[in-house]
């Protein structure tokens, strides 16, 4: 099969590699669409945390957001058949440890992560093998292109869920990229009274308003902290979903948050030590929650998408063949072209 390999920092190859073999409890799927994520850039540069700590090594096949169809099933697979539309979890637990038994397979000490951790093959390839316990059927009403956004939507849903929203809460989402856009919609779907968004692209912020965000703040034109407090009667939002991975944004979030509130973190941060204003966090008696991956979120997110409650089509701005990945990376790094989610077609 054709696959993209990162063979060293800043080294990309597109080559033929063996098609994955499957065990009795596994499914072989043909990848239809694979989403490009900022994590894939970090894997290419060598700055991704799993590269730095040695849990991921070169060469590797990256990519972890995907949709496709079942090609072949193992002898013990009963719930899937060739032709089924499917997607899968990113964190693949062992299914036997204490964490897996209570549904926290994202923390499994034996886990693999598609496209990164322990070099589990990713989806920048024509085929992927996945244990059936981590596979999900895509509803008939949802097409494969839209379904490729289930993983970032699931990641956003997990962060929203863990922020513990109530019906009176104002939520601020920091970041106008794909996960920020999805988190804003999901916060509304999960009961937030109002949703604010902070970002840097007017066009992306306009899209967020079209999809239900109450107020937007472009931090190039306004002070994020002052504007957010002005929009919340001087108190600050009760919950902040931080999706940007920018340490300055995280510091601003602590300043903005209403005392007693919650900051829910999604992204990896660019520096080894993030300079938090910890005394400010303590004085506000607030919670800062880290969120790893997207456990137990795919089923509800797939339903939201199939019922058009979660709108994703407008977030797909580019679809490129797999072999155009160098061009895609160049475009992303240039930061000149309007872009939200880029899909690759193996």
For the purposes of burial, counting CB atoms within 10 Å of the CB of 214, is it exposed (0-12), middle (13-18) or buried (19 or more)?
middle
- How many CB atoms are located within 10 Å of the residue 93 CB? 24
CATH of the domain at 106: 3.90.180.10
- 330 within some domain: yes
Total count of domains within the chain: 2
* Torsion sign, CA atoms 1, 319, 295, 140: negative
What does the pLDDT look like over 87-124, one tens digit per residue?
A: 999 999 999 999 999 999 999 999 999 999 999 999 99
User: Both 264 and 189 in a single domain?
Assistant: yes
Does residue 300 lie in a domain region? no
Look at residue 275 in the predicted model and tell me its pLDDT. 73
**Within-domain flag for 298:** no
Answer for the pair 322, 345: CB distance below 8 angstroms, yes or no.
yes
226 located within any domain: yes
Query: Cα torsion for 91, 97, 98, 99, to the nearest 10°?
Result: 0
Are residues 21 and 123 both part of a single domain? yes
Q: Which residue has the tokens 């863990």?
A: 162
Give yes or no: residues 194 and 160 share one domain: yes
In a domain, 66, yes or no: yes
47 and 175 part of one domain = no
In a domain, 183, yes or no: yes
The two beta strands, 2-8 and 11-16, are antiparallel
The residue whose two tokens read 């939002």 is 237
pLDDT of 98 reads 98
How buried is residue 345: exposed, middle or buried, by Cβ count under 10 Å (0-12/13-18/19+)? middle
The pLDDT value recorded for residue 277 is 81
303 lies in some domain: no
Task: Report the alpha-carbon distance of residue 153 to residue 160 in Å, rounded.
Answer: 10
pLDDT at 276: 77
118, 170: one domain: no
Instruction: Tell me: do 33 and 170 sit in the same domain.
Output: no
Can you give the residue range of the structural domain that contains 98? Answer: 2-149+312-345
Residues 103 and 237 in one domain: no
pLDDT score for 50: 94
Neighbour tally for 332: CB within 10 Å = 16
Whether the Cβ atoms of residue 138 and residue 302 lie closer than 8 Å to each other:
yes
What would the pLDDT profile of 209-228 be if each residue is shown by its tens digit?
999 999 999 999 999 999 99
Whether residues 199 and 262 fall in one domain? yes
Whether 6 and 145 map to the same domain: the answer is: yes
Residue 15 and residue 94 in one domain: yes
93/112 same-domain check: yes
Question: Which portions of the chain are predicted below pLDDT 50?
Answer: none
Q: Looking at the structure, tell me whether residues 133 and 63 fall in a common domain.
A: yes
The pLDDT assigned to 271 comes to: 66
CATH number of the domain within which 181 lies: 3.40.50.720
> At which residue do the structure tokens 């700590």 appear?
53
Given a contact cutoff of 8 angstroms between Cβ atoms, the answer to whether 225 and 256 are in contact is yes
Report the pLDDT value the prediction gives residue 60, as an integer from 0 to 100: 98
> What pTM does this model have?
0.96
Q: Is residue 306 part of a domain?
A: no
């Amino acid at each position: 099969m054709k696959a993209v390999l990162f063979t060293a920092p800043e080294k990309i190859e597109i080559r033929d590699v063996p098609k994955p073999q499957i065990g009795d409890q596994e499914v072989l799927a043909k990848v239809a669409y694979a989403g490009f994520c900022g994590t894939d850039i970090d894997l290419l540069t060598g700055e991704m945390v799993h590269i730095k700590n040695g849990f991921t090594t070169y060469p590797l096949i990256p990519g972890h957001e995907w949709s496709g169809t079942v090609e072949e099933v193992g002898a013990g697979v009963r719930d899937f058949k060739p032709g089924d539309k499917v997607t899968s979890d990113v964190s693949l637990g062992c299914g036997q440890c204490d964490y897996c038994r209570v549904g926290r397979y994202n923390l499994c000490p034996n886990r693999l992560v598609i496209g990164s951790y322990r070099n589990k093959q990713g989806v920048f390839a024509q085929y992927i093998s996945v244990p059936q316990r981590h596979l999900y059927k895509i509803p008939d009403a949802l097409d494969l292109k839209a379904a490729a956004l289930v993983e970032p939507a699931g990641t956003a849903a997990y962060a929203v869920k863990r922020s513990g929203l109530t019906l009176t809460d104002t939520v601020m989402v920091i970041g106008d990229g794909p996960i920020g856009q999805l988190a804003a919609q999901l916060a509304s779907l999960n009961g937030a009274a109002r949703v604010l968004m902070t970002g840097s692209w007017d066009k992306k912020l306009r899209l967020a308003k079209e999809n239900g965000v109450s107020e937007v703040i472009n931090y190039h034109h306004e002070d994020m902290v002052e504007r957010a407090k002005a929009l919340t009667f001087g108190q600050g939002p009760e919950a902040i979903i931080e999706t940007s991975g920018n340490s300055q944004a995280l510091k601003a979030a602590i300043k903005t948050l209403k005392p007693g509130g919650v900051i829910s973190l999604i992204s990896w941060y660019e520096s080894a030590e993030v300079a938090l204003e910890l005394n400010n966090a303590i004085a506000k008696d607030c919670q800062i929650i880290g969120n790893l991956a997207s456990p137990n979120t795919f089923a509800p997110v797939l339903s939201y998408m199939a019922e058009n409650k979660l709108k994703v089509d407008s977030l797909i701005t580019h679809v490129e063949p797999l072999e155009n990945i160098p061009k895609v990376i160049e475009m992303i790094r240039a930061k000149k072209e309007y872009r939200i989610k880029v899909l690759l077609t193996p």
